[in-house]
Amino acid sequence: MSDQSAITTTSYKSVYSSIQSFESAQRIAASLADSALVPNQYRGQAGLPNCIVAIEIANRMGMSPFQVMQNLNVIHGRPSWSSQFIIGLIQGCNRFEGFTYNETADSCQCVAVLKTTGEQVSSPKITLDMAKKEGWTKNTKWQTMPQTMLRYRAASAFGRFHIPDLILGIQSVEENEVIDAEVAVVPEPAESKLDQVNELLAPKTEPQHVPTPPPTVEMEADDFF
């Protein structure tokens, strides 16, 4: 990555590599968590662990932790890069030239030329029809700004294929926004819940019949003599 594309840190050592590194990261994280300039998920005591993770990612990428925090969101519990950030990585990593978008009214594809080989590389072609079939259009921005969303999707796909080492396998916000939990709905049986409870409480065996004892015969005292 070029000097113009990121503010580099002084060390690339993992914060989890030693107790000393972790303690140093905690001190840095505490100062960041106290800042009003970082996003909400990094603020205060609750955001301290997120700050430490952001520092770890920043060290791996050779970037400022603050820069990572401004562009790393949590969507459905998953870390997610903003698409603008991925575009910035592509344009600033100094690996490509002529990065551009081949666009139509309903499609977009990112293309660029590798500096090392002169080979033209591209992203998959993203279309509105694809977006509808994949369920991406659940996001209302596809209705109001479809061309921008096509660009974001094409750029995210380009980054995933051609700079996976820079994005660290982390998906974009737009990719993670449409992930829905698939829940199998089992129809309720006809019997009511009260019937089910009664069935559970019912005795497991048939009650045993207890014979009625014969009537007691009272005897007079003279009967013993």
pLDDT tens digits, residue range 128-140? 999 999 999 988 8
The pLDDT value recorded for residue 66 is: 92
**Which of helix, strand or coil describes residue 185?**
coil
Encode pLDDT of 2-34 as tens digits.
443 433 334 467 899 899 999 999 999 999 999
* pLDDT at residue 175, rounded to an integer: 86
Say what the pLDDT of residue 211 is. 64
What is the model's pTM? 0.69
**What separation in angstroms does the CA of 48 have from each of 35, 79, 154?**
11, 15, 34
35 vs 26: CA distance, rounded Å = 14
Question: Residue 76's pLDDT is what?
Answer: 81
How many percent of the chain have pLDDT more than 70?
74
Q: C-alpha 94: how far from its chain's center? A: 29
pLDDT computed for residue 133 by the predictor: 93
| Contact criterion met (CB below 8 Å) for 38 and 72 | no
Neighbour-count burial of 150, counting CB atoms closer than 10 A to its CB (0-12 exposed, 13-18 middle, 19+ buried): buried
Point out the residues of the chain with pLDDT beneath 70: 1-12, 179-225
* pLDDT the model gives residue 207: 57
